Amino acid sequence: MAIQNPPVSQTRSFSTVFLIEMWERFGYYGMQALIVYYMVQRLGFPDDKANLVWSAAAALIYVAPAIGGWVGDKVLGTRRTMLIGATILAVGYALMAVPGESVGFLYFALGVIVVGNGLFKPNAGNLVRKIYDGDDSKIDSAFTIYYMAVNIGSTISMLLTPWIKDYVNAKYGHELGWHAAFAVCAFGLLVGLTNYMVMRHTMRHIGSAPDEKPVHVGKLGAVLGIGVLAVFASAYVLAHESVARIFVYAAGVVVLGIFAYLISRSERSERAGLIAALVLTVQTVFFFIFYQQMSTSLNLFALRNVNPSFDIFGFHLWNWAPAQFQSFNPIWIFILSPLLAFIYNAAGRNGKDISIATKFALGFAAVALGFFIYSWADHFAVAGKTSSWVMVWGYGASSLGELLVSGLGLAMIARYVPERMGGFMMGAYFVASGISQYLGGLVANLASVPQDITNPVQTMPIYTSLFAKLGWAGIACTLIALAVLPLMRKLSAQHQAHNKATDAPLPTIGSEQ
């Protein structure tokens, strides 16, 4: 009689995906911390060009998963596609580690990263869902912990890669520090892949139908071939601003078309939920315009107008590299996530559950507060350099807004969209997020600093003016979100009535992280 392998626990399977996601995010955010600085300081890009190139890349990176999820589900298998994506990402970061100043080579490397992320990102998340398929009591907590993987990887890399860049540049010169930092990003992906291969037996029973069959060489070749074409297409988009703009606007039309199609094809009883999802998706687009400032205008503001010294009551604690300020975003996520979970659970126990629409309104208010804090930076400045604590508290408010808006985006799709439309809507949501990344770059360019201006006293008002405008824009978004609350309550009530009538209860959202 054959000896059967013992069953693998859900926890062990989840740990395998958790770790490769953590290392993938280590690579991505380590690159994001430096990429705008690299273009401005190493390649000599003006601010507006660096902002738009990175924002266009971010848009492509967000749009690509809409296709990669389909490849995993229907073509190659979820597990295989995730591993192929991680390998391609490692190649992309390794290409950025090659010394040189070729702009075309940078665009090509970013194109490789776009394709790798498109194959990796949706399939890693799908594996988590498949691990806990049918176990609603665990899936919410699993995704909350999974979200923490993102923040663990990003915190470590955002602190590490700027330090490596500065250390290697100071010790060896020739600007090799930039490429050493990007090499560390590639190394993170290799660690994640190695760890997965060691633990791969925990995933042998998890995946989509193609994972259970031998690799179809023809399909694999077709995916890789199309991937190569996508790399060159992405590089072309990044090299041509007008093409990037056309691509983003066309993607916006596609998203609206998907919504219109689904609403028109849905049953009358389902339309309330779809309209509610559309309203919240539009609000999410506006949020990501604010979010994109972290890697663009706020990043350059930290470079030029923030004192790197951390002091308390006159005592010097440490210095912070400009690129490291972005790490305050995941650090605050760590601090605020359990507090929000406690508040949500307490409200639920008392029968005062806070609706997603209300949380969106509160999130925009928090974002507005964050940008008002940044806009007050000149009041704490000496010779054009403001206190590091301005960034700490500004990121704190912005991160609270992120948890209330972005952290609820996928929960919103799960709540309001019929299951049979979930795949289309997840793709539309990612495309909409990608559009707003590019729009965020256009907004950041309102604070572009001419290359001949280097005095912090002169650059300070350029940034604070933009941040004040964004603060008032956040207030406007808050008021709009509050204005549509009655509509959202009506739509939610109709949606819940339909679910009760069909014995289809709302999915458990839990803390909705």
> Can you give the residue ranges of every domain in the chain?
10-239, 242-310+321-513
Residue 13's pLDDT is 78
Q: Write out pLDDT tens, residues 74-101.
A: 888 888 888 999 999 999 999 999 988 7
Residue 91's pLDDT is 95
- The helix or strand, by DSSP H or E, that contains position 312, with its residue range, turns out to be strand 309-312
Phi and psi (nearest 5°) for 319?
-105, 150
Residue 227's pLDDT is 92
Q: Do domains 10-239 and 242-310+321-513 have the same CATH topology?
A: yes
Question: Could you tell me which of 297, 298, 296, 289 has the C-alpha nearest to residue 437?
Answer: 289
Residue type (1 letter), 416: Y
Q: How far apart are CA 470 and CA 182, in angstroms?
A: 32
Question: Could you tell me which of 412, 147, 406, 137 has the C-alpha nearest to residue 284?
Answer: 406
Secondary structure letter of residue 451 according to DSSP: T
Q: Write out pLDDT tens, residues 465-494.
A: 999 999 999 999 999 888 877 776 776 666
Three-state DSSP at 386 gives strand
Residue 66's pLDDT is 78
**CB contact at 8 A, 433 and 62:** yes
HSE, side-chain direction, 13 A CA sphere, residue 86: 28
What does pTM read for this prediction? 0.85
Reading the block at residue 254, the tokens are: 């596609």
Reading the block at residue 264, the tokens are: 């028109």
Quickly list DSSP for 146-213: HHHHHHHHHHHHHHHHHHHHHHHHHHH-TTHHHHHHHHHHHHHHHHHHHHHHHHGGGGTT-S-GGGGS
Question: Could you tell me which of 206, 200, 213 has the C-alpha nearest to residue 76?
Answer: 213
HSE, side-chain direction, 13 A CA sphere, residue 11: 0
**CB contact at 8 A, 67 and 4:** no
CATH code linked to domain 10-239: 1.20.1250.20
Q: How far apart are CA 57 and CA 434, in angstroms?
A: 9
Q: How far apart are CA 44 and CA 47, in angstroms?
A: 9
Residue 508's pLDDT is 37
May I ask the CATH architecture of the domain 242-310+321-513? Up-down Bundle (1.20)
Reading the block at residue 164, the tokens are: 């490596």
How many C-beta atoms lie closer than 10 Å to residue 300's C-beta?
Answer: 25
Residue 31's pLDDT is 93
Angle at 239 between CA 95 and CA 462, to 5 degrees: 100
**CB contact at 8 A, 374 and 469:** no
Question: Could you tell me which of 506, 138, 406 has the C-alpha nearest to residue 130?
Answer: 138
How many C-beta atoms lie closer than 10 Å to residue 25's C-beta?
Answer: 25
Integer-rounded Cα radius of gyration of the chain: 23
Residue 505's pLDDT is 46
Q: How far apart are CA 200 and CA 183, in angstroms?
A: 25
Segments of the chain with pLDDT less than 70: 1-8, 133-145, 147-149, 269-270, 313-314, 353, 407-427, 488, 491-513
